[in-house]
């Protein structure tokens, strides 16, 4: 009997899941063998490939998927099997495809979810901040933001920033800054991941993300609709994923450090502003009455930037209900060992506070 090649996909997928489960008991082994070993090789290989492409590898994946669907439907129609036989073969094929996807996802990047948490690497103990601490942080960062904004030549109190205010070499600047930051924290920074933004404006955003890392191509993808103030932080966040970090809070933390330590005034402002926004919205959720009083006292420039970012976000509503998107991604993150799931994004406040008050 001839061996059916579809068993390869199913077998590799199951093997990858079992291996991920077993290595989950030994983050040190995962860190040493994969994150600081095999993944470095994968990083260089993927970077060498996608730097040759003049367009995003995501387009190749989409075209490949459409071609596979076309031939799959064609084969279905030409098959002489009964309806139940066709259904059985389709389930078998889909299972094999799912196995390949799972295997490639984990092998090319996903095993990084099991590495040693950054809090253990940095020997910090982040804890939830009390409301009064949040307010203190908010006010302290606000003073710094006003100072930084005044040093940006294009800054005006009644208008926010545009893409023209971003540095021309922003991606390279952030990549180099993140590499320096990683080495300072004791991590390797192998490779040269690229950032793709050449998509229809808002298309990624409407699917529930302003940026994402594609583990199958090794590319960082950022929606061109992202507000200029948010863009440096989002780019640095996705680059952190590319260097082998899965946890969203960790990537936010690394993005903050990268932008904050930049010598470019706009990037520094953007990094601290994004951290400040987490405090800002935390305060608004927790104590709306006092927050409203705080909002009225915001300096004109900061209030302009907040309003501009919120207006930009409102222009790109999700294709799917927000609750569905959050629940789906929350379940995915928890399945990869991120215990806080979607809420891990907000861990940046605890991480930054713990690190800077270590």
Residue with the larger pLDDT of the pair 180 and 76:
180
- Per-residue confidence (pLDDT) for residue 328, from 0 to 100: 53
Report CA-CA distances (Å) from 288 to 267, 284, 291, 295.
30, 5, 5, 10
- Per-residue confidence (pLDDT) for residue 204, from 0 to 100: 85
Contacts of 349 (CB under 8 A, 6+ apart): 129, 134, 137, 275, 278, 279, 282
**What gap in Å lies between CA 47 and CA 199, rounded to an integer?**
20
For residues 86-109, one letter each, b for 16 or more C-beta atoms within 10 angstroms of the residue's C-beta and e for the rest, the string is eeebeeebeebbebbebbbbbbbb
- Per-residue confidence (pLDDT) for residue 323, from 0 to 100: 52
- Per-residue confidence (pLDDT) for residue 105, from 0 to 100: 94
Average pLDDT value for residue range 111-129: 93
- Per-residue confidence (pLDDT) for residue 222, from 0 to 100: 95
Statement: residue 326 has pLDDT above 50? no
pLDDT band at 345 (very low <50, low <70, confident <90, very high): very low
Q: Which of 107-111, 129-133, 194-198 has the highest mean pLDDT?
A: 107-111
Instruction: List residues bridging with 156 in a β-sheet.
Output: 159
Statement: residue 36 has pLDDT above 80? yes
pLDDT band at 286 (very low <50, low <70, confident <90, very high): confident
**What gap in Å lies between CA 209 and CA 211, rounded to an integer?**
5
**What gap in Å lies between CA 208 and CA 329, rounded to an integer?**
10
Residue with the larger pLDDT of the pair 74 and 99:
99
pLDDT band at 330 (very low <50, low <70, confident <90, very high): very low
Going across the sheet that includes 211-214, the strands are 195-196, 219-222, 211-214
Q: Which two tokens stand for residue 225?
A: 């609709």
Q: What is the pLDDT of residues 185-238, one digit of tens each?
A: 999 999 999 999 878 888 888 887 889 999 999 999 999 999 999 999 999 999
Question: Are 93 and 72 a contacting pair, CB within 8 Å?
Answer: yes
Lookup result for tokens 């590898």: 57
pLDDT band at 333 (very low <50, low <70, confident <90, very high): very low
Residue with the larger pLDDT of the pair 7 and 170:
170
Q: What is the pLDDT of residues 242-269, one digit of tens each?
A: 999 999 999 999 999 999 999 999 999 9
Considering only CA atoms, which of 199, 249, 194 is closest in space to residue 217?
194
Considering only CA atoms, which of 340, 321, 317, 320 is closest in space to residue 330?
340
Statement: residue 174 has pLDDT above 60? yes
Residue with the larger pLDDT of the pair 123 and 358:
123
Of the listed ranges 125-129, 171-175, 226-230, the one predicted with least confidence: 125-129
**What gap in Å lies between CA 227 and CA 223, rounded to an integer?**
10
The pTM assigned to this predicted structure is: 0.89
- Per-residue confidence (pLDDT) for residue 136, from 0 to 100: 93
Report CA-CA distances (Å) from 44 to 103, 172, 194.
19, 17, 12
- Per-residue confidence (pLDDT) for residue 337, from 0 to 100: 46
Lookup result for tokens 């609709």: 225
Mean model confidence pLDDT for the chain: 87
């Amino acid at each position: 009997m001839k061996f059916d090649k579809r068993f390869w996909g199913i077998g590799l997928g199951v093997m990858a899941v079992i291996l991920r489960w077993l290595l989950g008991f030994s983050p040190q082994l995962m860190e040493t063998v994969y994150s600081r070993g095999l993944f470095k090789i994968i990083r260089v290989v993927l970077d060498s490939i996608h730097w040759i492409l003049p367009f995003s590898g995501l387009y190749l994946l989409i075209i490949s998927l459409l071609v596979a669907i076309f031939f799959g439907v064609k084969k279905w129609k030409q098959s002489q099997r009964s309806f139940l036989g066709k259904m059985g073969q389709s389930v078998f094929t889909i299972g094999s495809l799912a196995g390949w996807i799972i295997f490639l996802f984990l092998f090319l990047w996903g095993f990084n979810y099991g590495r040693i948490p950054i809090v253990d690497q940095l020997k910090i103990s982040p804890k939830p901040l009390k409301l009064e601490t949040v307010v203190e942080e908010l006010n302290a960062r606000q003073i710094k933001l006003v100072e930084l904004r005044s040093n940006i030549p294009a800054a005006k109190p009644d208008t926010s920033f545009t893409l023209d205010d971003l540095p021309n070499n922003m991606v390279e600047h952030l990549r180099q800054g993140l590499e320096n930051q990683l080495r300072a924290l004791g991590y390797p920074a192998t490779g040269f991941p690229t950032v793709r933004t050449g998509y229809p404006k808002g298309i990624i955003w409407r699917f529930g993300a302003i940026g994402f890392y594609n583990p199958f191509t090794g590319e960082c993808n950022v929606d061109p609709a992202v507000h200029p103030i948010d863009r440096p932080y989002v780019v640095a966040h996705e680059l952190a994923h590319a260097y082998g970090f899965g946890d969203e809070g960790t990537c936010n933390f690394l993005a903050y450090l990268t932008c904050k330590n930049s010598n470019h005034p706009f990037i520094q402002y953007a990094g601290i502003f994004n951290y400040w926004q987490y405090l800002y919205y935390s305060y608004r959720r927790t104590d709306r009455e006092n927050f409203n009083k705080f909002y009225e006292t915001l300096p004109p420039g900061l209030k302009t930037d907040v309003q501009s970012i919120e207006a930009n976000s409102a222009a790109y509503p999700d294709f799917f209900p927000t609750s569905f998107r959050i629940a789906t991604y929350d379940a995915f993150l928890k399945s990869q060992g991120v215990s806080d799931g979607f809420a891990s994004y907000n861990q940046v406040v605890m991480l930054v506070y713990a690190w800077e008050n270590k």
